[in-house]
Structure 1
Amino acid sequence: MFIGIAVKDFPPLCIVTLRTSQAALVLLGLTYLLHLILPKDRNTWVSFLAISMLDSVIPFSLIVWARTSIKCACASIMFKEMKRSTAPYLFGL
């Protein structure tokens, strides 16, 4: 429902950027509160980038872009199926 309202006023990529940035800030805050140390090596950050692109940014971008022309019910079905279809590829199941 949020996407349906936001897509009327903002471009799809802006919505995805705001959504993923908010999630990143929440996770960064949790790492600070839990006294976790962020990795320093480049390979780990490249892996994080690849996972975030495949699991969040690309699917959310496609769903928000599709939401400009389809109904909310269809978009919610696509959103649910997105997690089911991307998780096996990320975890090798």
Structure 2
Amino acid sequence: MLFAVKMDVAIPADLDPGVRADTIAREKAYSQELQKSGKWRHIWRCVGQYSNLSVFDVESNDELHDILWGLPLFPYMSIEVTPLAVHPSDINA
């Protein structure tokens, strides 16, 4: 199952700098492992925002839910999920 996921991050300005750095490092490692596994297929930065647009390829809604809740930055995110289907005009389909 493919999902487009928009993640907007809003880390509190008063968060301890050490906690901030550690959380961001853990987020990067977690996301890169998911990318290597093929579950996090694409990630793009949204220009001018602390946001990304990503595509996930997972087995179920529950798996995506668990992945998103496991993000170290999850407590500081607003997330919008859109299920995707193959487009009939896609030449690669």
Instruction: Output the TM-score relative to the length of structure 1.
Output: 0.31
Q: Which has the higher helix share?
A: 1
Q: Which has the higher strand share?
A: 2
Higher RCO structure (Cα 8 Å, ≥6 apart):
2
